[in-house]
Amino acid sequence: MGKLNKLLFLLAFVSCASIAYEPFTRYMGFDAQIRRMNFRGGYGDNLLHSNLFQRNPYVGVKFNDHLSLEIGYGSTVLRSRTATLTTGDVCGGVRILSTLSPISFKSTLKIHYPHASFLIFYPLPEGVPVHFFGAFGIGMSFIKGEVIRKTISLANHPVYRVKTFSSNKNILRVGGGVQCMFTSNLGLRGTVFLENTHRFIMTSSDDTFTLFTHMIKTRKTILYGLGIFVGW
């Protein structure tokens, strides 16, 4: 985590320092994104939403016609999911026993992630307001969630148990997109990114009632974005 923060600071320093020199072009924008983050079978796929809407404001500096550096901060909109599992279903890596069936769950998930990426542009012939680009970079994902379990006691009364989980890791991100210029400094862009979130393993912070959702495991993440940006 310390190495990533130092690298992000260095990238930000280079970006800010370059603003003082022409012909660097600065820009800022906002992407609306759909995050598709799948979960491993029995480790969150039947509890949490795999599709999340998120916001991604960003700033960037363009060193020349082919290379730019971009720094942003993505955050998902909090979303909840309600699910009912029965005997034999696997929840958090543990199979549900008949004595606990059925069990109702209400789960929420929130993700924040600062990121920095280099964009490499391939402009079309002069006069065509469309540019294709590839991108690669790094980020730090902070994931936090909560799962509320509801069962029925022997006295036929609802019993609630709450567990939280969280994790943060460095991630690599690669992707690309296309941008279309409306004017010399206003444009629209679409992007697709792949992130290696498959290493995330989140363990509940409360070990009480270990038959209840004690581990969440993720797979890779794909981001689809559409946004607008302005340069100066």
Tell me the mean pLDDT in the region 43-47: 86
pLDDT number for residue 20: 42
Mean pLDDT over the full length of the chain: 82
Whole-number pLDDT of residue 155: 52
Structural domain boundaries in the chain? 2-6+35-226
Mean pLDDT of 52-71: 93
Report DSSP letters for 108-143, one per residue.
EEEEEEEEEEEEEEEE-STT--EEEEEEEEEEEEEE
Q: Determine contact, residues 118/67, Cβ cutoff 8 Å.
A: yes
Question: What pLDDT score does 19 carry?
Answer: 43
Task: Show the tokens assigned to 194.
Answer: 């792949």
Inform me whether the pLDDT recorded for 163 exceeds 80. no
H-helix or E-strand containing 74?
strand 67-76
The per-residue pLDDT for 152 is 61
* Tokens matching residue 145: 């969630």
pTM for this model (two decimals)? 0.80
Q: Determine the length of the chain.
A: 232
Contact predicate 32/189, CB 8 Å: no
Estimate to the nearest angstrom the gap between the alpha carbon of 231 and the chain centroid.
26
pLDDT at 90: 86
